[in-house]
Amino acid sequence: MKYSRLTKEQFEELHQEFINFLATQSITADEWTNLKTNKPELAEIELDVFSDLIWEGALNKAKYLEHISPQSMHLFALNEKNMHLIGVKLKNKEDLTTKDGFNWLRENLMSDDVEFVQANKDYSKDPHLDKFKLIEQGSVITKGDLYKYFYKLIN
DSSP structure string for 73-102: EEEEEE-SSEEEEEEEEESSS--TTSHHHH
What's the average model confidence in pLDDT over 94-106?
94
Helix-helix angle 40-61:127-136, to 10 degrees? 100
Q: pLDDT tens, 23-64? A: 998 999 999 999 999 999 999 999 999 999 999 999 999 999
Look at residue 86 in the predicted model and tell me its pLDDT: 97
Look at residue 155 in the predicted model and tell me its pLDDT: 87
11 — pLDDT class (breaks 50, 70, 90): very high
- Kindly list the distances between the CA atom of residue 44 and the CA atoms of 6, 18, 35, 143, in Å, as whole numbers in the listed order: 12, 13, 10, 33
Look at residue 129 in the predicted model and tell me its pLDDT: 95
Best CA proximity match to 115, nearest among 90, 94, 135: 90
- Residue 6 neighbours by CB under 8 Å, 6+ apart: 14, 47, 50, 51, 54
Check pLDDT > 90 for residue 134.
yes
8 Å CB contact between 94 and 114? no
Domain positions in the chain: 8-61, 64-154
